[in-house]
Structure 1
Amino acid sequence: MKCPSLLSTALAALALQLPLSLVKAHGYMTIPTGRTTDTINDMDNTGACDSDQPGTVTEFSAGQEIDVQWTRNNHIGGFIRFALAPSDDVSHDSLDAGAFFYVCREVNCDLKECTDDFCGDDPGSADNEIKCGTTITLPEYLESGDYVLQWTWFAAGSSYGHIGWTTGNYRTCADIRLTTSGNATETGKPACPTFVGGDRVTEMESKGDDQCFYFDTNDLVTQEVKYDDEEGYTRYLYGIPAEMERCGGGNSTENASEAASGSVGADAQESSTGSSPAEVESGNDSEIGDEGAVDSSSDSGSEGVAAPSAGESHCRTKRRV
């Protein structure tokens, strides 16, 4: 049986599910308790937090492993960065300098009906219902005191019904108090933050837990890119956060010209920052957009694998762990 083409599948999914995808918001951190329960886009770098007003203070110890959780809201891939700064010095510069932990955005998401790389939230789920989350370890090098824990989501795709549009960067801040000092206050902050990879798509595609599935760029940038949908599929890559590359930590970004199911041919382009799955199987993609003309300008050096032309069959067998 011939598999539907990417474009016909996209249009079918759009017709069935676009109304739901349009009403979904973006995301915010729900655990620990943040200053607001709002989604704050910071593409202009105008605010380090979702609010300037301090909120509920949660107490922890330096070096403690803590639970963190956030909303998914249909969007695909990306990274989460955690940073800490003293509560009396909350700025972009201080929080950028205080980045200490990165994870994949789509880790441990409580989806029940997701069967492909580009699926939205479960059909019928409410806004902010689907949560993702993990545990992180607070730094050992900090003294006791009051801090702001900043959560930043970036490098996620699929927005307003367009699979090739970036979602922007979102931030939540939580007020915390370290009741004890760490055991490494004399040695200071290490050269690299901690990075823990592995997400929904890397598990489905047997890619291992040393990287994440992300859209277009692995760095925190302020440019919002808008590719047409056919190009958009090729802009989803596997790799590690750019900060980990710059500081020499973590694992090397995979530079492979293979799709998730195998070789894609000699004319495939390789990415300078990661490898693209380049394919989408037929299924329920609640954030797939239309074919309308969209601004495709971008400074990204990433090159994905070309999407199939209209009418080309595109079958794939999933590998699961």
Structure 2
Amino acid sequence: MLFKYLSVVGILSTICVGHGILNFPKSRGNVQWQGTCSAGAGCKGPCDSPKADSPFNSQFNEKTTYTRGQEIEVSWKRLNHPGGFVRLSIASFDDSDNWDSFNNNVVKYTCYETNCGPDDPNDNTFGHLNGPGSQKCSTKLTIPDNLADGSYTLQWVWYGGGIYYGQVDTSFGEYYGCSDFKVSGGNSQTSDKPEAAFQGGDITYPNTDSCKYWGSNKVGDCNFGDRQPSPKDGELLSQSLEPCMHGPPKQGKPDGM
């Protein structure tokens, strides 16, 4: 009995470590939240740090350059949490502190666990396929042809993720990350803005037009508004506003898809 108890405690501590971070292309990063941007911790986006703090501003920073029509990989680590959606949007670098610029220029939605999952698929401590694991997750993104040559920002949003501190019927708040880049050449520029695409199918619902998620399927529902946490000495959970919502996992598409 003691061994079983210690095993569960060990798994719980593992599943609570680390949260959603854009891995590639490299995100701006930040100092205040140790590189992450969690709405529950008080980081409200739209990026992990404001435009003024982006390394892109430095003349010594090597700028990543893509061409129109180029397909790139966008990746993140699962970091011990299952479920949810990833939304990818592109705005001009100059407008990258503006939420509307990203909300109006969504390029793609996909499942958070689109091609990744738990380390042990038979571990059902927190439910079917909800165990710990930090596999690489990724999707492909094509640079839209309507972008003129210039400087842009890719926004990555994870929302609808689940299981906060071992509570299987809880959803996380949103996480944000941004990567700055330049567009130069490639396909001829067009005036038509592409419609947002949705790539469904994840570890729980493979080969379907859906994803597993908790809480809400809409960006903005779990950003906690203007609220900020009120940390108290010795109370770890007071450092966050989490969880966002309560309820069992669901199957579905992003709002509007």
Shorter-normalised TM range: 0.7 to 0.9
Does residue 1:139 correspond to 2:158, yes or no? no
SS in 2 for 1:146: strand
Does residue 1:20 correspond to 2:19, yes or no? no
Q: CA RMSD in A?
A: 2.5
Partner of 2:38: 41
Contact 1:114 1:121 in 2 (8 A): no
Equivalent residue letter for 1:19 = S
Equivalent residue letter for 2:158 = W
Structure 2 unaligned regions, length at least 5? 56-60, 225-242
Partner of 1:83: 89
Distance in structure 2 (CA, Å) of the matches to 1:162 and 1:110: 19
Contact 1:72 1:131 in 2 (8 A): yes
Partner of 1:60: 66
Q: Which of residues 189, 208, 225 is equivalent to 2:244?
A: 225
Contact 1:77 1:105 in 2 (8 A): yes
Equivalent residue letter for 1:34 = S
Contact 1:196 1:209 in 2 (8 A): no
SS in 1 for 2:95: coil
Distance in structure 1 (CA, Å) of the matches to 2:130 and 2:43: 30
Question: What pairs with 1:145-164 in structure 2 (closer than 5 Å)?
Answer: 145-164=150-169
- Which structure is higher in strand share? 2
Structure 1 residues 292-312: Cα deviation after superposition (integer angstroms, max 9, x where no partner): xxxxxxxxxxxxxxxxxxxxx
TM-score normalised by structure 1 residue count: 0.61
Distance in structure 2 (CA, Å) of the matches to 1:209 and 1:184: 33
Partner of 1:31: 24
Structure 1 residues 176-226: Cα deviation after superposition (integer angstroms, max 9, x where no partner): 11112654522x214x301111111112xxxx3311111122111135534
Contact 2:37 2:43 in 1 (8 A): no
Equivalent residue letter for 1:17 = I
SS in 1 for 2:76: strand
Contact 2:78 2:117 in 1 (8 A): no
Partner of 2:249: 236
Contact 2:14 2:80 in 1 (8 A): no
Contact 1:26 1:167 in 2 (8 A): no
Equivalent residue letter for 1:18 = L
Equivalent residue letter for 1:38 = G
Q: Measured at CA, do residues 35 and 45 of structure 1 come closer, stay the same or move farther in structure 2, by a change above 3 Å?
A: closer
Partner of 2:205: 202
Contact 1:82 1:99 in 2 (8 A): yes
SS in 2 for 1:165: strand
Question: What pairs with 1:1-321 in structure 2 (closer than 5 Å)?
Answer: 14-15=8-9, 17-22=11-16, 24-36=17-29, 38-42=35-39, 46-52=44-50, 53-55=53-55, 57-90=63-96, 91-109=98-116, 111-115=118-122, 117-122=128-133, 129-180=134-185, 182-183=187-188, 185-186=190-191, 188-190=192-194, 192-203=195-206, 208-220=207-219, 221-222=221-222, 223=224, 224-227=243-246, 232=247, 235-244=248-257
Q: Measured at CA, do residues 148 and 26 of structure 1 come closer, stay the same or move farther in structure 2, by a change above 3 Å?
A: same
Partner of 1:250: none
Distance in structure 2 (CA, Å) of the matches to 1:180 and 1:34: 23
Structure 1 unaligned regions, length at least 5? 1-10, 123-128, 245-321
Structure 1 residues 68-113: Cα deviation after superposition (integer angstroms, max 9, x where no partner): 1101112121000001111111111111111111110001226542
TM-superposed CA distance for 1:168, in Å, is 0.9
Contact 1:146 1:177 in 2 (8 A): yes
Equivalent residue letter for 1:189 = K
Contact 2:37 2:44 in 1 (8 A): no
| Higher deviation after alignment, 110-119 or 81-90 | 110-119
